[in-house]
Structure 1
Amino acid sequence: MIMMDVFKLNFLVVGLYLTLLLSLSKADTCGVSQFCFRSPNDCFPASECTYFVGWSPSNTDGAVDFELSMSGTSGYIALGFSKDGNMANSDIISCLSDNRILRYYASGRTVPTRQTDVGLSNENTTIADDGTITCSFTRQLSLVGQTNYFDLNDPHFLILAKGQRQDESIYQHTSNSRYSSDDSYDFKSETPVTQGSAQGTLVTLPSQPRQPTTERRTNTPKSTEQSSEDPCGESQSCLRAPANCYPASSCTYFVGWSLSQNQDELDFEFTLSGNNGYVALGFSKDDKMPNSDIIACLSSGQLTRHYAISRAIPEIQDDVGVSNEKVEVVDGTTKCSFTRQLSNAGFPNFFNLSQDHFIILAKGDSNGQSITQHSPQSARYASETSLDFKSAPVSVGGSEDDNRGAKIKAHGSLMIIGWIGFVSIGIVTARYLKDFLPRKTICGKPFWFRFHAMCMITAWFSFMSSFILIFITLEGWVGTGRGDNTYYHAIIGTVAVGLGTLNPVMAIFRPHPGTPRRPIFNVLHFAVGFLGWLCAIVATFYGVRIYYSTTGNVTDIDAFNVMIGFTIFIVIMFVVFELHILSTRKKETSTDNIALDSVTDTPFEEQRNRPTQRTQEKIVGSAAVRNIMYFLYIIGVTLTVLYLVITIVIKDS
């Protein structure tokens, strides 16, 4: 009986001991016997974590024991040591799916290069059934004389990544498979401590995934910003303004890019002055916002992809093809850097940068991950031509003209005032009003002729000054690089200016009334002027599309629709005028059936037969009707001009 009780007691003790051992084996060691960097924050064991890094001082002097695990199937998982949290210039240890542990070094945002396997021992790798790789190794803190072997006696950031491989070559990790610590760690510390705590005990070190963060500083930016050598055109391509500005912090905007060593990625950095909710870099086939692939860097530190179908707010896209994101805000200037794949066939809105594209820059306010319409024209910039991102480094200087936007507005306003305003009124005055305006003369010429001439001369000065202004502003001909709309606008507009200049020259050398060539002049004068006016209207349509394509509607009515309404309006008015002429014209009251035969050097009264009293009464009645039509026509033209000019002036102001 006693033996039985002793046996039961021993069995109970053994059970309690085994239970204690089991509970201890499941106890979270983070903050007790090792440092940890993991996610979720309290995950344990490592197999239950998205990622897990544990380290502790090794029994070997001057060494650290590491344990690394990342969930999900991959060809490799990697632990990197970095001085600034970026992939560029990092010492990497990669655990491969074939159970090897190898060393690499990343000199830039390119595929890391293989290094000599020194300073590592006690390597062990296991692959779980779900593909999760777990590895452990011992690393010496430092190796004197070994290139690219970082000295962990100094604090370093941790970087984690996973991806696919081919033999010993490890490929670019995906954008959602990279993590880095918020702080640098002291790996030679022997006692785990809670970050920011003085108690000397640790639950765990900070282990949330590091999203791209915003660093707000007031000191001078580091890295290449402090270099006195301009890399543009040497080691990277640049788009910037003012021309040749450097460093980037001194530019209104700056975009730099270079092709990776494996020729399938581009490293970008761009800077926009001004403190906003976001800055964005877009790739477009025609320098317009519609149909553009956009990467936005938010002031919250996030980097997001968007696609603009039209002038509406861009739609957020899958975060693919972009890695090594970093956002900084320094003295109100936002700087963003990232690596982008040249192409990704699986995503239709991911533009293939192996082909030439325009660059668009913009900034504005953000709401969470959503970006709102960029602010005024001064906050949107575009390259003058499409760019070859795979070419040798080039430097594309931007405009140094701070008044460029105002000059473009002046160009559009003067063209509209000249062609849509004065020419529209001048043509109708000569064609339909010479018989009905007051029969008075000014300096020996009929009143209608003086009014017609005044409109045309004012129009010529208006559109000619606008024509010269745009050539000076754009520094020459725009060519085909700005897109079809701009090219057609320039061609047709130039034809209109040419015809508009030829017509007054023809008028100076017009034959005298009654001579055989006078009818030929009248027809040509009317045809050249009318054709120039039509070309100007078509060019205005293109101009409106170009200018307003960068934003949504300026007011409740779209300017392009206003131009359509104006065209319909003048067609209707011309038809009504012609019908009215047919119903009132009498052979005995008119000696000139061609519109501009009355453009003479003799007084109006000497060119007309005096009508009868009855005819005079009919003329007075017809004149009243036509004057009302003329008044309505002038109102319609004036309202159109006012709308277009005012919206040009207030747009982006």
Structure 2
Amino acid sequence: MVPAHKVPGQTSSPPYELLVDKQTYSVGEQINVTIQQTGSETFEGFYIQARPVGRNEPVGTFTALDDDITLVVDCAPDTQNAVGHRRTNYSLPIVQKTVVSVIWTAPNVTSGDIQFRATVLQNFTTFWVNALASPVITDPTATQGPTNVPIATGATTPSSSTITTDGCGVTKGCYGVPDGCSPPNCDLLSTWVTDATTETVIVEVTGKSDGYVAIGFSRDKIMSGVSNVEVAYSNGLLSCRFHRAVRQTARAGTGADQYFDLGNSSYHIFLAEGPSEVQSDGSVQIRRHTSRVYSDQPVDVMSIGQVAATSTGATTPPSATITTDGCGVTKGCYGVPDGCSPPNCDLLSTWVTDATTETVIVEVTGKSDGYVAIGFSRDKIMADDDMYECVRHPDGNIEVFSSYSTGHSRPTRDATNSGVSNVEVAYSNGLLSCRFHRAVRQTARAGTGADQYFDLGNSSYHIFLASGPTQVQSDGSVQIRRHTSRVYSENPVDVTSISLVATASTPLLVKLHAGLMMSAWMFTVSIGAVLARFYKPMWPNSTWCGVKVWFAGFNATIHAVMGIIVTSLAVIQPFMSLLRPGPDEPNRVVFNWFHWGFGTAARIMAIIVMFLGLDFPAMDLPDEAMYVLASWVAWLVLSEIYVIVMFLGLDFPAMDLPDEAMYVLASWVAWQALSEIYVIVMFLGLDFPAMDLPDEAMYVLASWVV
């Protein structure tokens, strides 16, 4: 892991990160590992290994995705258990990299929890040794050994059933999620009661976790001193009971007020659970929570009461609660496609102000297993926008984040997440849904950008809806990635009023691009291919602008190609024609094969591009468009095979046909193509509003065609 560069490595934090696409794994499973920049600094070299937590030997095997810049390394013969950078030409500068991905395959035997470690080189003299670490990827099938960190001195181990909700609100205070639960059906539960001296609070906390559960006291909703500890772990339920002084003495060192005085103030109670991680010194530290809840109101732990929860993921209503019922009457709505109802909406948002008119209740739902988001924008460009992310974690937990978009970079989340409250979430059958409250005139976010919370009461804003995948970061957090679907309202919307919002019309450039490409590849390319292939014998010596007619027709269609890859293949064709050998030269066969191969590849790839274009939200095409294009492709393939067979049949000696037969067949092919175009145009014309034709007209025309 240490480069032999004869200079010491850096001790600062590297401007790079190591990401993985899974949080758990099993034997033989593959994981995508990515090293990428976090700022503007590129890197030249890297070295990655996968290691069991707490050990140094590498495990598993790597596979390179780009052999030009990636080299699989054997730390022991034939192991392929590490991967680094490749430099194929030492006479050229090293390739500057922004992101590199590789595939790691788990070994066929259980290795326990593993973590990827990496050394990264910005250049020859600037590098960080073993400084990048991925989140820990757990192996649920592994048998975990006992921790080498004592839970507590003299800790006893009661049965987890000793933590119950018996007496809640009568003899002790309680806070559980879901509300009203009893173990073992509580996701998280805490209880508290003061002892006879009223100088000590007896706290119990339990939850479904094999890593940790925690309780915290907070002066707001933003995220020592224990004795008489009792602990238990049974059937996936981790439980702890401990004593804590009401007026605990201050912690040593700085932060003398870090032990809150539970006797004179009330505090919000936080409960959390998540995984733990073994450190290099053998200690066990908690990682970012996978579930977190907090009380809606501050709690006096000296009193006895039943506490209600407020959470970014505790309440899970069915997705059916987000509907289009009342749209335009009792609430505002914006859905895509227009007029849709769940679960048939790709994206949908609704909004309504509560009885106080000081809070907007926002709902957003969409077809995604990563995230859906709603944003308020002053224009139709996704930058400087007030956003709210509904994010589903890989473990199924769902959270809502308040964030601010500054452009094409990842949105910045509000550290306090103070923009949202009363959150409800759901995920069912591929539909991700969130409901939350947002103040009409929200207080400013902390720090810079005090105007990042838009005043929804005095202005109207374009509404953006988006969905896409998520990615687990090195710190265990889950961040949204670039959207795969995005739409926005045509006009600004006043969310304090009730309205039905229309999607922005398809941009003119999108329409032109789609129209030109479809026209080029459905008509001109098909005609050009037929001319080049079948009409060459008809006009062997006829010319157009000094070029043989059959060849010029094909060449002219090339310039209508859209798409970078397809265009690149097509542009090569005319340059190849400049090198075309004579008919009798031996290299003519090689040219013909290359010419045919490039042309055929371009046509096939263009068809793929058109199919992909059908899903663009900006096109707003109905599902039937897929069947129309598929039918055309099938017709194209079958008709070409049919024509090839017929032309080949003309040369059979047994046919003994005159030369004129070629012209007769060619004329029939031309008539067939024109008649197909004519029929297509007529069917398209049936839908023109100006025609005002009854539905029966479609059947009349279809009968005539048949």
TM-score by length of 1: 0.42
Structure with max Cα Rg? 1
TM-score by length of 2: 0.39
Instruction: For CA contacts below 8 A with separation 6 or more, give which structure has more relative contact order.
Output: 1
Q: Which has the higher strand share?
A: 2
